[in-house]
Chains A and B, each alone.
Chain A
Amino acid sequence: MSSIAMSGVKPRAGATDRSDSLRPLALAAPLLLLLAFSFGAPIVLLLSRAVYEPTIANALPHTIAALRNDSAGVPAEPVFRALADDLKTDQAAGAIYEFAKTLNTRLPGARSQVLRLARLAGQDPAPTREAMIKAAPLLGEDQGWTAIRSGSNRFTSFFLLSAFDLRWTDQGTIGTVPADQAVFTRVFGRTFLIATLVTLATLALAFPLAYVMTNVRPVIAGIVLVLVLLPFWTSILVRTAAWTVILQKYGLLNDLLLWLGMTSDRLELMYSRTGLVIAMTHIQLPFTLLPIYSVMRAVQTSQLRAAQSLGARPFTVFRRVYLPQVMPGVLAGCLLTFILCLGYYITPVLVGGASDQLISNFIANYVNVELNWEMAAALSFVLLASTLGLYVTMTRYLGLDLFKMG
Chain B
Amino acid sequence: MLSPYPTTSERIRVAALWFWCVLVLIFLVVPIFVPVPLSFNSGSFFTFPLAGVSTRWYEVVLGTPRWRAAIGNSLLIGAGATVLATFLGTLTAIGLSDPKFPARRFVVPLLISPLIVPVVVTAVGTYLFYARLGLANTYAGIILAHTVLASPFVVVTVGASLSGFDRNLMRATSILGARPLTGFFRVMLPLILPGVLSGAAFAFVTSFDEVVVVQFLANAQQRTLPLEMFTGLREQLSPAITAAATLMMALSILLLIVANLLARRSRQAGLPAE
A residues with CB within 8 A of B: 2-3, 6, 20-21, 23-28, 30-32, 34-35, 37-39, 41-43, 45-47, 49, 205-206, 208-209, 211-212, 215-216, 224, 227-231, 233-246, 248, 250-252, 255, 282, 285-286, 308, 314, 339, 342-343, 345-346, 349-350, 360, 363-364, 367, 373, 376, 380, 383-384, 387-388, 391-392, 395, 402-403, 406
Q: When the two chains form their complex, are residues B20 and A208 in contact, meaning their CB atoms are under 8 A apart? A: yes
Partner of B211 from A285, A286, A346 at Cβ < 8 Å: A346
Q: Is B31 on the interface with A (CB-CB < 8 A)?
A: yes
Minimal beta-carbon separation of B225 from chain A (angstroms): 10
A42/B32 contact (C-beta < 8 A), A209-B24, A241-B242 known: no
Q: When the two chains form their complex, are residues A209 and B25 in contact, meaning their CB atoms are under 8 A apart? A: yes
A350, closest chain B residue (CB): B233
User: Which B95-147 residues sit within 8 Å CB-CB of chain A?
Assistant: 95-98, 100-102, 107, 109-122, 124-130, 144-145, 147
Minimal beta-carbon separation of B86 from chain A (angstroms): 11
Number of interface residues of B (CB under 8 A): 90
**Knowing that A238-B248, A360-B121 are A-B contacts, what are 18 other residue pairs whose CB atoms are under 8 Å apart, sorted by A's residue number?**
A20-B100, A21-B100, A24-B96, A31-B91, A39-B113, A42-B129, A45-B129, A212-B1, A215-B1, A231-B31, A234-B32, A237-B211, A237-B229, A250-B46, A363-B120, A388-B117, A392-B109, A403-B152
- Bound together, the chains give a CA A71 to CA B62 distance in angstroms of 67
Minimal beta-carbon separation of B267 from chain A (angstroms): 12
Minimal beta-carbon separation of B11 from chain A (angstroms): 13
- Bound together, the chains give a CA A262 to CA B234 distance in angstroms of 30
Q: When the two chains form their complex, are residues A26 and B95 in contact, meaning their CB atoms are under 8 A apart? A: yes
The majority secondary structure among interface residues of chain B is helix
A387/B117 contact (C-beta < 8 A), A28-B107, A373-B128 known: yes
- Bound together, the chains give a CA A211 to CA B116 distance in angstroms of 27
Q: When the two chains form their complex, are residues A35 and B95 in contact, meaning their CB atoms are under 8 A apart? A: no
- Bound together, the chains give a CA A47 to CA B121 distance in angstroms of 9
The segment from B50-58, B63-71, B168-176 found at the interface with A is B168-176
- Bound together, the chains give a CA A3 to CA B170 distance in angstroms of 11
Partner of A31 from B111, B124, B233, B245 at Cβ < 8 Å: B111
Q: When the two chains form their complex, are residues A380 and B124 in contact, meaning their CB atoms are under 8 A apart? A: yes
List, in ascending order, chain B residues with CB within 8 A of A224's CB. 25
- Bound together, the chains give a CA A114 to CA B150 distance in angstroms of 46
A216, closest chain B residue (CB): B1
Q: When the two chains form their complex, are residues A23 and B124 in contact, meaning their CB atoms are under 8 A apart? A: no
- Bound together, the chains give a CA A356 to CA B207 distance in angstroms of 28
Q: When the two chains form their complex, are residues B116 and A238 in contact, meaning their CB atoms are under 8 A apart? A: no
Partner of B125 from A32, A45, A252 at Cβ < 8 Å: A45
Q: Is B193 on the interface with A (CB-CB < 8 A)?
A: no
Q: When the two chains form their complex, are residues B95 and A42 in contact, meaning their CB atoms are under 8 A apart? A: no
Minimal beta-carbon separation of A44 from chain B (angstroms): 8
Partner of B253 from A6, A35, A230, A346 at Cβ < 8 Å: A230
- Bound together, the chains give a CA A227 to CA B33 distance in angstroms of 12
Minimal beta-carbon separation of B46 from chain A (angstroms): 5
List 13 contacting pairs A-B, 8 Å CB cutoff, sorted by A. Answer: A6-B171, A25-B101, A35-B114, A242-B31, A246-B34, A250-B46, A250-B47, A255-B48, A282-B31, A285-B28, A350-B230, A387-B116, A391-B109
List, in ascending order, chain A residues with CB within 8 A of B1's CB. 212, 215-216
Interface flags for B221-257 (1: CB within 8 Å of A; 0: not) read 0000010011001100100011001001100110010
- Bound together, the chains give a CA A406 to CA B89 distance in angstroms of 19
A35/B249 contact (C-beta < 8 A), A24-B98, A360-B120 known: no
List, in ascending order, chain A residues with CB within 8 A of B249's CB. 234-235, 238
Q: When the two chains form their complex, are residues A238 and B32 in contact, meaning their CB atoms are under 8 A apart? A: yes
- Bound together, the chains give a CA A371 to CA B250 distance in angstroms of 38
List, in ascending order, chain A residues with CB within 8 A of B252's CB. 233-235, 238
User: Which B69-105 residues sit within 8 Å CB-CB of chain A?
Assistant: 84, 88-89, 91-92, 94-98, 100-102
Q: When the two chains form their complex, are residues B101 and A345 in contact, meaning their CB atoms are under 8 A apart? A: no
A238/B245 contact (C-beta < 8 A), A28-B91, A31-B111 known: yes
Minimal beta-carbon separation of B61 from chain A (angstroms): 13
Q: When the two chains form their complex, are residues B28 and A39 in contact, meaning their CB atoms are under 8 A apart? A: no
List, in ascending order, chain B residues with CB within 8 A of A308's CB. 3
B114, closest chain A residue (CB): A39
Q: When the two chains form their complex, are residues B125 and A25 in contact, meaning their CB atoms are under 8 A apart? A: no
- Bound together, the chains give a CA A245 to CA B109 distance in angstroms of 38
A212/B35 contact (C-beta < 8 A), A205-B27, A238-B245, A402-B115 known: no
List, in ascending order, chain B residues with CB within 8 A of A252's CB. 34, 48
- Bound together, the chains give a CA A253 to CA B102 distance in angstroms of 54
Q: When the two chains form their complex, are residues A245 and B46 in contact, meaning their CB atoms are under 8 A apart? A: yes
- Bound together, the chains give a CA A21 to CA B144 distance in angstroms of 28
- Bound together, the chains give a CA A351 to CA B177 distance in angstroms of 62
Minimal beta-carbon separation of B170 from chain A (angstroms): 8
- Bound together, the chains give a CA A224 to CA B130 distance in angstroms of 44
Minimal beta-carbon separation of B264 from chain A (angstroms): 12
Minimal beta-carbon separation of B67 from chain A (angstroms): 15
List, in ascending order, chain B residues with CB within 8 A of A205's CB. 24, 27
B248, closest chain A residue (CB): A238
Q: When the two chains form their complex, are residues A346 and B212 in contact, meaning their CB atoms are under 8 A apart? A: yes
- Bound together, the chains give a CA A46 to CA B120 distance in angstroms of 12
List, in ascending order, chain B residues with CB within 8 A of A255's CB. 48
Minimal beta-carbon separation of B240 from chain A (angstroms): 11
List, in ascending order, chain B residues with CB within 8 A of A248's CB. 46-47
A233/B130 contact (C-beta < 8 A), A43-B122, A282-B27 known: no
Q: When the two chains form their complex, are residues B229 and A243 in contact, meaning their CB atoms are under 8 A apart? A: no
Q: When the two chains form their complex, are residues A39 and B31 in contact, meaning their CB atoms are under 8 A apart? A: no
Which residue, of B112, B128, B242, has the highest number of chain A Cβ atoms within 10 A? B128
Q: When the two chains form their complex, are residues B125 and A42 in contact, meaning their CB atoms are under 8 A apart? A: yes
A387/B34 contact (C-beta < 8 A), A21-B102, A30-B91 known: no
